[in-house]
Amino acid sequence: MHIQDKIQLIPGDLLDQQSLTSAVTQSDPDEIYNLAAQSFVATSWSQPVLTGEFTALGVTRMLEAVRQIKPKAKFYQASSSEMFGKVHETPQSETTPFHPRSPYGVGKVYGHWITINYRESYDMFAVSGILFNHESPRRGLEFVTRKISHNVAKIHLKLQDSFILGNLEAKRDWGFSGDYVEAMWMMLQQDKPDDYVIAMGENHSVKEFVKEAFKVIGVSSWEEHVKTSSEFMRPAEVDFLIGDATKAKEVLGWKPKVDFKTLVKMMVEEDISLLKKNSK
């Protein structure tokens, strides 16, 4: 059975208070996970106001719906390592100061603090999970990991010969979304609401991700297939992120199962089978 057949969708829009209030009324939830946002960092420069409406004020609208209709429900806010931006310390933990570098990051800082504010103002069970980059074969094609796995799969199947990226030197602490979703759930099973960093504690450059992806298809001369262009560079970059998830490991008992190499292999192999299936 497909996951779509096991869930019931109720429409709601972070820009429309009434639709959120009515979605909470209809679903009468025990747990609410706010994963919605304008989440593509690059777009946040071309649509900064819209990004603020969704990513920042949208959190307040969601919290208001919960406060008015189901204040006893547990609420999870998807905060982001992009809040650390131009990092003030390494590795980054729950106590590291924020220095966001994009309208998206700025919006997420607002979402983080409004969640804490509702917890403190109304005694709601509201938590903020500060998740570092988490990836899977379901990632959108605009994000760098999936862009790489999809294009490497195409090269393997001889559907193209090269593709274009932006900054290859940026470093991210990449983990597997499945492991990270488990951490979100664990946060809501605690007796007390609190905020947690979720990360692998190791980082890799975009270039290393590319090399590893080409390794999966047995190609070592990756430079012949990858070009770079300023089109994919950002006005302000987040150069280096690495998280410290000690608190989540100690308090929640969280333990990720998928490491970097396994993640890259999973994504490339899944894209190869998807392309094969779609060509039939």
Active site residues: 80, 82, 104
Out of 14, 82, 214, 252, the only residue in the binding site for ligand F7E (CB under 6 A) is 82
Residue 39 vs 149, nearer CB to ligand F7E: 39
Selected from 215, 234, 247, 265, the binder of ligand F7E by CB under 6 A is: 234
Give the nearer residue to ligand F7E in terms of CB position, either 111 or 193.
111
Please, which of residues 180-199 interact with ligand F7E by CB under 6 A?
none
Binding segment for ligand F7E among 114-122, 197-205, 213-221, 232-240 (CB under 6 A)?
A: 232-240
Part in contact with ligand F7E (CB under 6 A); list of ranges 19-27, 76-84, 249-257, 258-266: 76-84
Binding residue for ligand F7E, selected from 21, 44, 77, 80, defined by CB under 6 A = 80
Q: Which is nearer to ligand F7E, 103 or 193 (CB)?
A: 103
User: Using CB under 6 A, which of the segments 35-43, 63-71, 86-94, 109-117 binds ligand F7E?
Assistant: 35-43
By DSSP bridging, strand 226-228 and strand 175-176 are unpaired
CB of 103: closest distance to ligand F7E in angstroms?
Answer: 12
39 part of the interface to ligand F7E, by CB under 6 A: yes
Of 74-82, 110-118, 152-160, 193-201, which segment contacts ligand F7E by CB under 6 A?
Answer: 74-82
Binding to ligand F7E (CB under 6 A): which residues in 109-168? 132-133, 142-145, 147, 165-167
- Secondary structure (DSSP) of the chain: --GGGT-------TT-HHHHHHHHHHH--SEEEE--S---TTHHHHSHHHHIIIIIIHHHHHHHHHHHH-TTSEEEEEEEGGGT-S-SSSSB-TTSPP---SHHHHHHHHHHHHHHHHHHHH---EEEEEEPPEE-TTS-TTSHHHHHHHHHHHHHTTS-S-EEES-SS-EE--EEHHHHHHHHHHHHTSSS---EEE--S--EEHHHHHHHHHHHTT---GGGTEEE-GGG--SS---B--B--HHIIIII-------HHHHHHHHHHHHHHHHHHHH-
Number of residues that bind ligand F7E (CB under 6 A): 23
- Of residues 216 and 238, the one with the C-beta less far from ligand F7E: 238
**CB 65, CB 23: distance < 8 Å:** yes
- Comparing CB distances to ligand F7E, the nearer of 142 and 224 is 142
Q: How far is the CB of 83 from ligand F7E (least distance, A)?
A: 9
Q: Which distant-in-sequence residues (6+ apart) come within 8 Å of 118 by Cβ?
A: 63, 67, 75, 124, 126
How many other C-beta atoms lie within 10 A of the C-beta of residue 75? 27
Binding residues vs ligand F7E (CB under 6 A): 39, 41-42, 80-82, 132-133, 142-145, 147, 165-167, 170, 172, 206, 232, 234, 237-238
